[in-house]
């Protein structure tokens, strides 16, 4: 960004719905999985760029609880790409001091994958830079259900009374506990929907839809989203 643009307000927490890999491949007459391979490259480059812009938390939607509905060949290809990327991420992002965490239901992944996820988080745990949350097998309804069960258990165990349940209790049961709500949610690929991403947390997030398909998403596209974010008037219900 140029000098003038550096005076812009940079959102604290940005969420990105990385969409459009399949259409990108289709446009080129390639199988869908190639789109995911290129999408993974964008993930790497854009994460680095965003961390340099001063964003403190970046949450990337990589695989939803509904994405298992896809043909097994595609799901397998995505899992293979994840494994490769997790291996790379063990050392990746080190130079940018990026902390990595995974949000979503890990129980659906194999032992080896879970081990890799744990290792990736562990290697990066003392880093001081941007927090990168990778949402894998993540679904917001699933997350809220999990929080509700947690609260019910606490009530059952006599740790808390029903009257004491507040918004704070719900928030602390979410994967994003202790992380401020997203300020800006970007969706690439032109769709205007959240597709089960951060439903509770995005109550007052600004939504930005980019026509660019994820594998083509560049720093300039992110800059455009930031410019638009700066034009928005966030009222949070006030005047
Ligand atoms: C997003 O791209 C990646 C995942 C959901 C895993 P898509 O695969 O949804 O791409 P389109 O939307 O079909 O183009
Ligand atoms: C949302 O994209 C999930 C991710 C980007 C990981 P989808 O492609 O699955 O969403 P829909 O089906 O268009 O709503
Ligand atoms: Mg899609």
For the chain, domain boundaries: 10-139+181-229
**What does the pLDDT read at residue 6?**
58
Burial of 72 (0-12, 13-18, 19+ CB in 10 A): exposed
**What does the pLDDT read at residue 25?**
98
pTM: 0.96
Give the Cα separation of 137 and 104 in Å (integer).
5
**What does the pLDDT read at residue 5?**
55
Q: How many CB atoms lie within 10 A of CB 86?
A: 21
**What does the pLDDT read at residue 140?**
98
Going from the first residue of the chain to its last (239 residues), give the mean pLDDT of each consecutive group of 10, the final group possibly shorter: 71 98 98 96 96 98 98 97 85 90 96 94 94 97 98 98 96 98 98 98 98 98 98 97
Is 67 tagged catalytic? yes
Sign of the alpha-carbon torsion through 17, 129, 46, 119: negative
Q: Name the class of domain 10-139+181-229.
A: alpha beta
Counting from 1 in the atom list of ligand 2, the atom nearest the Cα of 66 is 9
Q: How far is the CA of 197 from the centre of ligand 2 (A)?
A: 9
Counting from 1 in the atom list of ligand 2, the atom nearest the Cα of 18 is 5
Give the Cα separation of 207 and 182 in Å (integer).
10
2, 21, 67, 122: which one is catalytic? 67
**What does the pLDDT read at residue 4?**
56
Q: How far is the CA of 19 from the centre of ligand 3 (A)?
A: 5
């Amino acid at each position: 960004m140029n000098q003038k643009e550096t005076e812009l307000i940079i959102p604290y927490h940005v969420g990105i719905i990385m969409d459009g890999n399949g259409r990108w491949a289709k446009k080129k007459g390639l199988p869908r999985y190639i789109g995911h391979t290129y999408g993974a490259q964008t993930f790497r480059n854009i994460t680095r760029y965003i961390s340099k812009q001063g964003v403190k938390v970046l949450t990337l939607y990589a695989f939803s609880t509904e994405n298992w509905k896809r043909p097994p060949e595609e799901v397998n290809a995505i899992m293979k790409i994840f494994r490769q990327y997790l291996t790379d991420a063990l050392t990746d992002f080190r130079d940018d001091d990026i902390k990595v965490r995974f949000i979503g239901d890990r129980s659906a992944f194999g032992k080896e994958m879970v081990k890799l996820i744990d290792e990736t988080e562990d290697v990066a745990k003392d880093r001081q830079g941007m927090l990168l949350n990778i949402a894998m097998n993540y679904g917001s309804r699933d997350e809220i259900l999990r929080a509700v069960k947690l609260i019910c258990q606490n009530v059952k165990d006599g740790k808390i009374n029903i009257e004491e349940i507040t918004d704070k209790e719900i928030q602390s049961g979410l994967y994003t506990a202790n992380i401020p709500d997203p300020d800006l949610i970007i969706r690439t690929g032109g769709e205007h929907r959240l597709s089960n991403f951060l439903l509770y947390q995005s109550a007052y997030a600004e939504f930005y839809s980019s026509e660019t398909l994820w594998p083509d998403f560049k720093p300039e596209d992110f800059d455009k989203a930031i410019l638009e974010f700066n034009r928005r008037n966030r009222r949070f219900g006030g005047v």
